[in-house]
Amino acid sequence: MTAQDRSATSSSQPRRGVLIAFEGGDGAGKSTQIARLTRWLAAHGREFVVTREPGGTELGERVREVLLHGGAVSARAEALLFAADRAHHVDTVIRPALEAGQDVITDRFMDSSIAYQGAGRALGADEVKDLSLWATGGLLPDLTVLLDVAVDVGAARRTGHPDRLEAEVGGFHERVRAHFLALAQAEPARYLVVDASLPSAQIGQVIADRLVATGWFGSGT
């Protein structure tokens, strides 16, 4: 969809919102940058929804508790539970907001499943991608912001008791990081890779500059 298509409005067909996903390894700083982006969107007069996966719905919060803070879950069951949460999330939160002309910022989306379950769990990235595409009905983010951080740096930033995925050891998190970067390299037009070790304000400016460049939000930062 072009910027002209996005700006066209009518009483019968409001402007479709923009879907922006934030991805990255644990400790990459997604929450901080999402908060910065919401302030930026508000300053531009945009209506928006901030959500997350898992946990963007009542069902999602229950799934989140099972997946991140419960007992053992087999790898395939884990992938299916993430996909089920995503399907419900898209149907009940994301698509309705986009169709109402609201922008949606989500903390994680399908790339997390592809990287964590497909690569990290070695279930097969293509298989997990196909599952996620089926779950979303083919919906992809307009822009995926990948906050890239070295695994050891991300681990040092984390506070509190680690969840099930954060607690994985060995090469798990290295595989996750490598696959995030491979996804971005394969589709550079849909991704913005940012060095998450940069100062927070500088990262926020890089993201704002990219959004302005798309033409979706007008000019100025």
Q: How sure is the predictor about 4, in pLDDT bands with cuts at 50, 70 and 90?
A: very low
136 within some domain: yes
Q: So what's the pLDDT on residue 26? A: 86
119 within some domain: yes
Tell me the per-residue pLDDT of 113-158, one tens digit each, with 9 for 90 and over: 999 999 999 999 999 999 999 999 999 999 999 999 998 888 888 7
220 within some domain: no
Characterise 109 by phi-psi region: left (phi > 0), alpha (psi -120 to 50), beta (else): beta
Q: So what's the pLDDT on residue 218? A: 63
13 within some domain: no
12 within some domain: no
* Average pLDDT of the residues of the chain: 91
Q: Which CATH number belongs to the domain containing residue 157 in this structure?
A: 3.40.50.300
- Give the DSSP letter of residue 117: I
What is the total count of domains within the chain? 1
Q: So what's the pLDDT on residue 170? A: 76
157 within some domain: yes
183 within some domain: yes
Residue 89 pLDDT exceeds 90: yes
17 within some domain: no
Mean pLDDT confidence for 90-106: 98
Residue 160's domain comprises: 22-214
Task: Put the strands of the sheet holding 48-52 in their side by side order.
Answer: 48-52, 103-107, 19-24, 143-148, 191-195
pTM, two decimals, is: 0.90
Q: Tell me the one-letter amino acid at 219.
A: S
**53 backbone dihedrals φ, ψ, rounded to 5°:** -130, 135
